[in-house]
Amino acid sequence: MAQKAFRFGVVAAAQEGGAKWRETARRAEELGYSTLLSPDNLNLPTPTASLATAAAVTTTLRVGSFVLASPLRTARAAAWEAHSLTVMTDGRFELGLGTGLPSMRQQAEELGLPYGNGQERLDSISETIDHVRRLDGDAHTPVMLAAGGPKARRLAGAKADIVTLAGGVLTTRDEFKAHVEEIRTAADGRDLELALNIFVVGEVVPPWIRGFIGVDAETLIEHDSLTMLRGSVDDMAAELERRRDELGVSYVSVNSAFIEEFAPLVERLTGK
């Protein structure tokens, strides 16, 4: 299968108010990032509002959910939000979907919704995609699936346009290669874009990121973690090209804490 050209996204939370969020969106576009991606959590502004705001102050920047958690809305409601964003952004929206973290059980309860077991959450994602396809008509909302487990990888291969390799932070290269094979097999020849999220650029893990991923820089380095990218710009560019060669990953997102540090790679590799 032919290699896809590189593109890059920024994962950011609109937690510091509208002015800061609009500034982030404009800066991401200015630096050449393809997408601004917003997480889904009841403690943050809803992605629908955040992404519509970001699209309104930019012209070419794509916006996406990273990712809508299936326990936090019904499949039909998620599809309604997604299609609405596709319409209101003139096709610049990408729908990211996932089954949600275990901590979202309480958030689902706050909304009066069932958290569900793993299969039920995956079924909700599948139904969301079906609803979006029906609502879109002649339009097409790109769907990204965060695929952590075998069932999610099979569903992603069968129905998604973009698949984010969502193993643990210490998942090995060989394990990721096996995951890609599962996804490709399920895709049965369908054209897919493979993606990977970078938590750390450089060799310093900010405390809040360490709290989220649960490991320090030394552990990431020891395990050759693909959630870290380090070295010179040349080194990092070569590593991203290696990941594309070995895994097919061409769409790379980075935490907004590193938006400036990562920008030279965006300039060098975008579209290549």
pLDDT score at 2: 79
- Phi/psi for 177 (5° steps) reads -60, -40
SS3 at position 122 = helix
Percentage, residues of the chain above pLDDT 70: 100
What Cα–Cα distance (Å) separates residue 6 from each residue in 29, 134, 187, 272? 16, 30, 21, 6
SS3 at position 113 = coil
pLDDT (tens digit per residue) in 79-125: 999 999 999 999 999 999 999 989 899 999 999 999 999 999 999 99
* pLDDT higher than threshold 80 for residue 67: yes
pLDDT category of residue 1 using cuts at 50, 70 and 90 = low
Taking the C-alpha atoms of residue 254 and residue 9, their distance in angstroms, rounded to an integer, is: 6
pLDDT (tens digit per residue) in 11-20: 999 988 999 9
pLDDT category of residue 39 using cuts at 50, 70 and 90 = very high
Terminal Cα distance for the chain, rounded:
16
* CA of residue 210 relative to chain centroid, distance: 19
Give the count of beta carbons closer than 10 Å to the beta carbon of residue 263.
20
Mean pLDDT of 222-239: 97
Mean pLDDT of 127-141: 97
User: Which residue pairs, CB below 8 angstroms and at least 24 apart, start in 239-244?
Assistant: 240/6, 240/265, 240/269, 241/269, 243/196, 244/3, 244/4, 244/6
Mean pLDDT of 133-144: 97
Taking a C-beta distance cutoff of 8 angstroms, is the pair 124, 116 a contact? Answer: yes
pLDDT (tens digit per residue) in 152-196: 999 999 999 999 999 899 999 999 999 999 999 999 999 999 999
pLDDT category of residue 197 using cuts at 50, 70 and 90 = very high
Mean pLDDT of 8-28: 96
**Right CATH number for 7-269 from 3.30.390.50, 3.40.50.300, 2.60.40.10, 3.20.20.30?**
3.20.20.30
pLDDT score at 167: 84
Percentage, residues of the chain above pLDDT 90: 96
